[in-house]
Amino acid sequence: MILLDGKKVSNDIKNEIAAEVAEMKVRGEKVPHLAAIIVGNDGASLTYVASKVKACERVGFESTMVRLPHTTSELELLQKIQELNANDDIDGFIIQLPLPSQINTQKVLMSVDPSKDVDGFHPENFGKMALDMSTFIPATPFGILELLERYNVQTKGKHTVVIGRSHIVGRPMSILMGRKGWPGNSTVTLTHSATKNITQITSQADIIISALGVPNFLKAEMVKEGAVIIDVGITRVPDETKPNGYRISGDVDFENVSKKASYITPVPGGVGPMTIAMLLKNTLLARDQKRMM
Ligand code: GUN
């Protein structure tokens, strides 16, 4: 079994990006600038955004965090987005999800300038991705592709089973793994809450990408010997033995599944750090594209 070490790979990527930023500085160029909007006080969302800001500092990017109260109206958020769209200093920005219920997420995501949409959530960018056009690929799926590529995991002709059809992970992942090219060229099955007899499907999979958010969902008996296992789950589970009162659990019963897997991502330290590294990559791309215009 080989551990797909997202912590190490994401560090390599950050070092690569930091070297590029250092060269920009030598040339006297403006460095990439990422902004993040966060609405409300959700603990997990605040942690994710703080990690994104920290990662910017680490590679030499500029970053701006915009914190809005949980009572923010849709109109107020749309106005803030228009400000960031119009601000030439900002190369890319994200709106941390989920948003409070008074705000229509779809409407908000559609108001982001597609050239600054480093999350790749705008329909224009999502459509381009589905059509194999150059665009921003959502950071988590992009991170999974990068991990497969850097570990030289073969995907051509394999049966990839994706668990979960979220717009952020499962849906784009299912499209990307079926694309012509590498990583890709898989035969993809997208499973979800209405799927019947999921064990019958997962036990035939060469590659399983689980993005469900249910701790320990994927058990050893659901997995074929030698399968590649990608665990996207990061659920906070109450744990009194931990200083902060919780631990992070993936979707996969790691202890038992890892005995059958050929490759497997740990949680934490697998897909999570890759997501942040790829967001930085997308911000670099946004900055480069802006300079070419
Ligand atoms: N919430 C959970 N994952 C993500 C992500 O990749 N981007 C944003 N903006 N919000 C998220």
**8-state DSSP, 209:** E
**How many A from CA of 131 to the centre of ligand 1?**
23
Find out whether 6 and 273 touch, Cβ atoms under 8 Å: yes
Residue 91 is a catalytic residue:
no
Residue 189 and residue 87 in one domain: no
pLDDT at 47: 95
pLDDT at 154: 98
Distance CA 19, CA 21 (A): 5
pLDDT at 152: 98
Residue 90 and residue 203 in one domain: no
Residue 36 and residue 152 in one domain: no
**Pairing verdict, β 159-163 and 187-191:** parallel
**How many A from CA of 9 to the centre of ligand 1?**
20
Q: Which of ligand 1's atoms lies nearest the C-alpha of 97? A: 10
Report if residue 40 sits inside a domain: yes
Q: How far is CA 9 from CA 125, 183, 219, in A?
A: 26, 16, 26
Q: Which of ligand 1's atoms lies nearest the C-alpha of 119? A: 7
**How many A from CA of 281 to the centre of ligand 1?**
15
Active-site pick, 80, 96, 117, 251:
96
Place of tokens 């979800």: 192
Work out how many domains the chain is built from and give that number.
2
Residue 155 and residue 231 in one domain: yes
Residue 100 and residue 175 in one domain: no
pLDDT at 293: 81
Report if residue 22 sits inside a domain: no
Active-site pick, 119, 206, 231, 253:
119
Residue 96 is a catalytic residue:
yes
Q: Which of ligand 1's atoms lies nearest the C-alpha of 139? A: 6
Residue 52 and residue 159 in one domain: no
First vs last C-alpha separation in the chain: 46
Place of tokens 């900002």: 90
The runs of H, that is alpha helices, within the chain are 6-26, 43-59, 74-86, 105-110, 123-130, 139-150, 170-178, 198-202, 254-257, 271-292
Question: Which residue has its alpha carbon closest to ligand 1 atom 8?
Answer: 96
- What range defines the domain where residue 88 resides? 28-113
Question: Which residue has its alpha carbon closest to ligand 1 atom 11?
Answer: 97
Residue 52 is a catalytic residue:
yes
Residue 150 and residue 266 in one domain: yes
Report if residue 168 sits inside a domain: yes
| Most ligand 1 atoms within 8 A of CB, residue of 48, 111, 117 to mutate | 48
Residue 148 and residue 214 in one domain: yes
Question: Which residue has its alpha carbon closest to ligand 1 atom 9?
Answer: 96
Report if residue 261 sits inside a domain: yes
Find out whether 136 and 120 touch, Cβ atoms under 8 Å: yes
Residue 87 and residue 147 in one domain: no
Residue 94 and residue 190 in one domain: no
Report if residue 289 sits inside a domain: no
**How many A from CA of 74 to the centre of ligand 1?**
18
pLDDT at 242: 96
Place of tokens 């996207």: 232
Residues in the ligand 1 pocket, defined by CB under 6 Å: 94-97, 119, 139-140, 168, 275
CATH number at residue 36: 3.40.50.10860
**How many A from CA of 112 to the centre of ligand 1?**
15
**How many A from CA of 140 to the centre of ligand 1?**
8
Residue 185 and residue 267 in one domain: yes
Low-confidence ranges of the chain (pLDDT < 70): none
Specify the 3-state DSSP secondary structure of 93. Answer: strand
pTM score: 0.97
Residue 149 and residue 71 in one domain: no
Distance CA 103, CA 99 (A): 6
Report if residue 8 sits inside a domain: no
